[in-house]
Structure 1
Amino acid sequence: MPTPLPTAIVGSLPKPSWLAQPEVLWSPWELEGDTLIEGQHDALRAAVQEQELRGIDIVSDGEQTRQHFVTTFIEHLEGVDFDNRETVRIRDRYDASVPTVVGAVSRRKPVFVQDAAFLRAQTDRPIKWALPGPMTMIDTLADRHYRSREKLAWEFATILNQEARELAAAGVDVIQFDEPAFNVFFDELKDWGVAALERAAEGLQAETAVHICYGYGIKANNDWKATLGAEWRQYEESLPLLQRSNIDIVSLESHRSHVPIEVIELIRGKKVMLGAVDVAGAEVETPEEVAETLRRALQYVDADKLIPSSNCGMAPLPRGVAYDKLSALSAGARIVRDELS
């Protein structure tokens, strides 16, 4: 029988200091060559053990084998030049130096499948793997070949589908596509963004999820959030479209955000992965705070469709804080399970 209110994380966990610089987002690796691969798998194994110890039901890799949630996938593709970089506006929020698309993009070999198989071997629990979504991928590049965001997104959707099918074959139970761009580019979202996401998820023998966040707790994102007013209503653009899509799970931010909890009604019938712990601060939630967030959510989503989770990636947090937040998440979920039983 499935676990009621199964807990999960949506993104990264902090890396150990011997692998990458602590509390630094997208830190360079401290190791090289075969030693780096061995170290990444050691860190992945430790992340699994910590998740199980802290009571997480749907286990992930914590992104221990990747430096960046988008570009680590892209750097394995043909047609993208990482030496020829340009500065572009990311999420219409901040400037970043990014690689350039210089030719037809293609996937010459699997990117994460070997790491996913390693994760599968570490646990008997359901496992989840995250991939960047097509719209977010094109927003993290300079395009000098296709010169069409839509055309490049469809190319990436096909590549992502190839990778996702092999991840599912390797034993991944939930494949998550990260689409923070869905909270920014609403015209593209409606015109082709959801359709490209559905192409990436087409025919998968695994549950599919889309994670739409408000970004890591970095200054550029926090400054943007400060302009959004007392209520963050961006989800009202994406959720009605996703409710009609073939995506199984929609992952939302909630706890300590300004997202009105009632927006969940817009995806009635879908599973909801709800952020019940914050990743933008070091204060650890109490189990009762987590439980109260979940109780509020249950006014709008059935209990068998609610997955308590973290808001976004935890990579910039101190490791102890991150794992204590996971303990609070699990404890809060247990409180509400007991109330429902």
Structure 2
Amino acid sequence: MKSANLGYPRIGGRREWKKALEQYWAGQLAEADLVQQLKEIRLGHLRRQLELGVEIIPVNDFTYYDHVLDTAAMFGLVPERFDYSGGPVELDVYYAMARGSQKAAACEMTKWFNTNYHYIVPEFAGRVPELTENKPLQAYREAKRELGIEGRPVILGLYTLVKLSKGYAEDECSSWVDKLLPLYVQVLQELKAEGVVWIQMDEPILNTTLYQEDLQNVKRIYEYIAQQVPGLKLMLQTYFDSVDDYEQIIHLPVAGIGLDFVHDRGENLKALIQHGFPEKKVLGAGVIDGRGIWRADLNQTYAVLNQLSQIIASERLLVQPSSSLLHVPVTAESEQALEPVLKNALAFADEKLREIVLLTQAGNGLLENPDHALASASAGRYALQQSSSRNAARVQAAAAELTEQQAQRSKPVRERSVIQKERFQLPLLPTTTIGSFPQTAEIRAARQKWRRKEWSEDQYSAFIDEQIKLWIGLQEQLGLDVLVHGEFERTDMVEFFGEKLAGFAFTSFGWVQSYGSRCVKPPIIYGDVDFVVPMTVRETVFAQSLTSKPVKGMLTGPITILNWSFVRDDVTRETVANQIALALRQEVAELEAAGVGMIQVDEPALREGLPLKREHWEAYLEWAVRAFRYATAGVRDETQIHTHMCYCDFEDIMESISGLDADVISIESSRSHGELVESFEQFTYDKGIGLGVFDIHSPRVPSVEEIGQMIDRALRVLDPAQFWINPDCGLKTRRAEETLASLRNMTQAAELARPKYQAELAR
């Protein structure tokens, strides 16, 4: 057996990658210095994997922003609005595609399969692809030249690239395969000429629900590559789920197949046992979880490897993670503040690679007592399982005894809306924001002083109150109709709540990439989740005391907390979601008792939790929607429940979105506005809805006219009486001047639109 990795975290143990990018964007770092700093980070990652004893090390898994964007740039798939004239894509154009510019809107961003990583969606319309530069070849040469590493280049597979892109009709899929296939062949031929033996071709699209036409295209791609580049060994790598069409996939003309044996629900192993595996192919056995952060039960994992070795010769087995380690932090060694019983149960990227190397040694007979060695490496996992934090009888009983009645509002939305309209007296096309306002350097510095005990609780609270007071005043000046307190006390929309609930823990350096340079530090749900004290009441009530306009209470929903955390793996995700929902239900009750009339419970991660296989969607959505309703359905009829979702394909889950039974929903749509509006042409939505009218991830300030056009497009389909006007998402990452300018234009656009649509309603 050999040990292999599929991809290493890009950001660095102290987020060095993020800091370099942001300095460059701010004009504080020259391009040459950025290139040099990123090279040092990249080589450091390769060196670390070598030190850990990994035998097969991936190259070209590093990126300047996003690996899908890299692939699009490599093939010249740059939308016309970016003034690109061919050849290698310059950094400013590359970053404009990702972040937008004053001249051009950014490309759409959406979730990478069912993870919390976001990729930049390639646009095919109006562009003839060309090979601009061979990035995998450059990465291979660098690793060999600088470190003597014979790396395995990683390439995003052709069919995954096509299926994740936009700008072409459904019946044009095959023609785009034809356009791109010669370019892929050219990349591979150049790699072969360089002496590369193995290529990792990532095709996670094979783990989704595919149809016969898809399989025909995949077969055509790999047969053509085999004909044009004979002798080059392709490792066709799949991950995140099982392969439905196992028998067809394993007989593709490739030298190896990588399968996920962690997130496959046992299906890959079952298929392999039933149908066998080709004698001459290599199997990449993804037996260590590439997405979770828990130590594996290595004896159990070793048993799986033994099963595989009964079917496949050991020399044709690679021991590897189930996916790239992009989705986990770098190392748990730095987490000195965690309780030992928790820390010893954690395995981040480096620890996972150690597990892979240890399993490989066991499989090769290099351990004197493999059972003892593997059990010792898993001891932390067993100790946590026995701890009191995972055995809270009261919490477990409450979640087990939930009833359907607890998930139902007392009146239907049509009747509630009449009561709420009378209570709030809002104008037509009411304006609001999603929740957060800019987190300035001053705010971050104040939080650090408080965390370091340099400021008392009273000092910090007084500072936060001043920020709330400032921004309540600014919102009133802008003319917004429904206000927010700004969330200045919150670092992250999940972390904030996890810090106040039982069953959560937090790392010091457990950062992972969400999109671009945006890194998050997911909470760890390690035990039973329980309400402790009110979490949001003080700031919301203070904000409401400063204005006669309604101020929304702001919470993060149970499914987003679940999907944006590292979740314990000893109980079902549904069980954890229900525990979180019960804790939030109590917080909602506290807000309502304090006089807060609008409560927003955000669920931006609802769709990303969808299983990759469509046949499993219904079961997930059923319990996910029910968990949201457990959290929100206990309020009175006059209390208005809002929710927010962002950056995903909503058209697939419109019925479930409606099933949340929120009184008002706001949805990201500025990067894909027309497409989302088309969804409402097919689905009648009977609740309040706001479609985001400007992109908060871009520094670009939209004009009044542009926002007005967005409003008009939506109101061709939606009833003006149900429509709200808001940005795409929270404004935490934007500068104050950008925020105020954009919101000013938004409120002016709303004021201009109201008379027109008021007259329409009167007719």
Q: Structure 1: how far apart are the matches of 2:735 and 2:513? A: 29
| Equivalent AA in structure 2 for residue 264 of structure 1 | F
Deviations 1:215-260 (A, max 9, x none): xxxxxxxxxxxxxxxxx6x111222122244221121112233543
Residues 101, 145 of structure 1: 8 Å contact kept: no
Q: Structure 2: how far apart are the matches of 1:44 and 1:85? A: 29
Aligned to 1:220: none
Structure 1 residues 330 and 198: CA distance shift in structure 2, 3 A: same
TM-aligned CA deviation for residue 85 of structure 1: 8.0
Of 677, 687, 693 in structure 2, the residue corresponding to residue 261 of structure 1 is 677
Of 106, 112, 129 in structure 1, the residue corresponding to residue 536 of structure 2 is 112
TM-aligned CA deviation for residue 315 of structure 1: 1.0
Deviations 1:176-221 (A, max 9, x none): 122121231223652311111111111213111221112xxxxxxx
Aligned to 1:4: 428
RMSD: 2.4
Aligned to 2:286: none
Unaligned residue ranges in structure 1 (runs of 5+): 22-26, 215-231
Task: Give the TM-score normalised by the residue count of structure 1.
Answer: 0.85
| Matched ranges for 1:155-234 at <5 A | 155-186=579-610, 187=617, 189-205=620-636, 206-214=639-647, 234=649
Structure 1 residues 242 and 212: CA distance shift in structure 2, 3 A: same
Of 303, 309, 325 in structure 1, the residue corresponding to residue 720 of structure 2 is 303
| Matched ranges for 1:1-341 at <5 A | 1-20=425-444, 29=448, 31=450, 32-33=455-456, 34-83=458-507, 97-144=521-568, 147-186=571-610, 187=617, 189-205=620-636, 206-214=639-647, 234-257=649-672, 259-265=675-681, 266-341=683-758
Q: Which has the larger radius of gyration?
A: 2
Deviations 1:132-190 (A, max 9, x none): 11111112322337532110000001111110111122222221122121231223652
| Equivalent AA in structure 2 for residue 77 of structure 1 | L
Deviations 1:105-134 (A, max 9, x none): 111110111111111101100111221111
| Equivalent AA in structure 2 for residue 4 of structure 1 | L
Residues 680, 718 of structure 2: 8 Å contact kept: yes
TM-aligned CA deviation for residue 291 of structure 1: 1.3
| Equivalent AA in structure 2 for residue 238 of structure 1 | I
Q: Structure 1: how far apart are the matches of 2:697 and 2:519? A: 21
Q: Structure 2: how far apart are the matches of 1:87 and 1:44? A: 28
Q: Structure 1: how far apart are the matches of 2:620 and 2:554? A: 20
Q: Which stretch of structure 1 is more off in the superposition, 185-194 or 165-174?
A: 185-194
Aligned-pair identity (%): 28
Residues 693, 711 of structure 2: 8 Å contact kept: yes
TM-aligned CA deviation for residue 337 of structure 1: 0.3
Determine which structure has the larger strand proportion and give its number.
1
Q: Structure 2: how far apart are the matches of 1:183 and 1:301? A: 22
TM-aligned CA deviation for residue 88 of structure 1: 7.3
| Equivalent AA in structure 1 for residue 679 of structure 2 | V
Residues 537, 590 of structure 2: 8 Å contact kept: yes
Deviations 1:268-315 (A, max 9, x none): 211102211220111211112111111111112111111100100111
Unaligned residue ranges in structure 2 (runs of 5+): 1-424, 611-616, 759-763
Residues 84, 99 of structure 1: 8 Å contact kept: no
Q: Structure 2: how far apart are the matches of 1:303 and 1:97? A: 40
TM-aligned CA deviation for residue 90 of structure 1: 6.7
Q: Structure 1: how far apart are the matches of 2:666 and 2:557? A: 13
Classify the secondary structure of the residue corresponding to 1:58: coil
Structure 1 residues 254 and 90: CA distance shift in structure 2, 3 A: closer
Structure 1 residues 189 and 145: CA distance shift in structure 2, 3 A: closer
Deviations 1:69-99 (A, max 9, x none): 11101101112222598677979xx985433
Aligned to 2:306: none
Q: Structure 1: how far apart are the matches of 2:620 and 2:723? A: 25
Residues 271, 307 of structure 1: 8 Å contact kept: yes
Structure 1 residues 124 and 17: CA distance shift in structure 2, 3 A: same
Aligned to 1:223: none
Residues 239, 267 of structure 1: 8 Å contact kept: no
Deviations 1:26-81 (A, max 9, x none): x9545533221111111011111111111110000121221111110110111222
Aligned to 1:226: none
Residues 628, 660 of structure 2: 8 Å contact kept: no
Determine which structure has the larger helix proportion and give its number.
2
Where relative contact order (Cα < 8 A, 6+ residues apart) is larger, the structure is: 1
| Equivalent AA in structure 2 for residue 46 of structure 1 | L
Q: Structure 2: how far apart are the matches of 1:5 and 1:212? A: 19
Structure 1 residues 57 and 95: CA distance shift in structure 2, 3 A: closer
Q: How many residues align?
A: 316
Q: Structure 2: how far apart are the matches of 1:30 and 1:313? A: 25
Classify the secondary structure of the residue corresponding to 2:624: helix
Residues 5, 333 of structure 1: 8 Å contact kept: yes
Classify the secondary structure of the residue corresponding to 2:506: strand
| Equivalent AA in structure 2 for residue 197 of structure 1 | F
Q: Structure 1: how far apart are the matches of 2:607 and 2:680? A: 15
